[in-house]
């Protein structure tokens, strides 16, 4: 019985440490999202970490590049695969301020990313459980662990404020 309680205590400590790491990386992703908002882009930010090191940072660049595929996740994937010199990101975790869409989720599946950690859910296009659960579809050859709601309020507030300003200016 004593070994069980020690194991439980260790598990709880490790879980708390993981949550703190997740918050740190999500704060880095939020910095990227803020950069996107400053550039009049939808404020989505991403970092990809591998073995405790950030290997990619990106934010949306759809408006700048006039490219509907220039989502933060897609740009970060390219950076990470270039950094590692490998198309597989099986030891990497992506931290994104909003739940990835189906395009980005599909790319994350193809890259074999280990885990997705996101802040705010996306009830309109989310593909990690909100609208569809593409990343855990048993018909696909890879499934991704998902951690939802890390700094959810902060991530959601950034999006709410951005779209409020856009509507006030007669945009989007």
The residues carrying an active-site annotation are 73
How distant, in Å, are the alpha carbons of 34, 74, 122 from that of 146?
A: 23, 18, 14
Instruction: Name the 3-class secondary structure at 148.
Output: coil
Two tokens, residue 7: 């194991």
Instruction: Name the 3-class secondary structure at 169.
Output: coil
- Alpha helix (H) residue ranges in 39-147: 62-65, 72-84, 102-110
CA nearest to 159, candidates 39, 33, 62: 33
d(CA 154, CA 117): 14
* Contact (CB, 8 A) for 53 and 75: no
């Amino acid at each position: 019985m004593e070994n069980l309680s020690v194991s439980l205590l260790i598990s709880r400590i490790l879980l708390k440490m993981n949550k703190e790491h997740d918050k740190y990386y999500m704060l880095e992703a939020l910095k990227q999202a803020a950069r996107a908002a400053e550039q009049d882009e939808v404020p989505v930010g991403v970092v990809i970490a591998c073995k405790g090191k950030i290997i990619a940072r990106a934010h949306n660049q759809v408006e700048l590049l006039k490219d509907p595929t220039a989502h933060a996740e897609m740009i970060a994937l390219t950076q990470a695969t270039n950094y590692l010199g490998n198309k597989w990101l099986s030891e990497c975790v992506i931290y994104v301020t909003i739940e990835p869409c189906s395009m980005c989720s599909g790319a994350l599946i193809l890259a074999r990313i280990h885990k997705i950690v996101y802040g705010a859910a996306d009830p309109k296009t989310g593909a990690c459980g909100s609208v569809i659960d593409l990343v855990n579809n048993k018909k696909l050859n890879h499934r991704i662990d998902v951690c939802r709601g890390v700094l959810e309020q902060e991530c959601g507030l950034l999006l709410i404020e951005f779209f409020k300003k856009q509507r006030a200016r007669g945009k989007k």
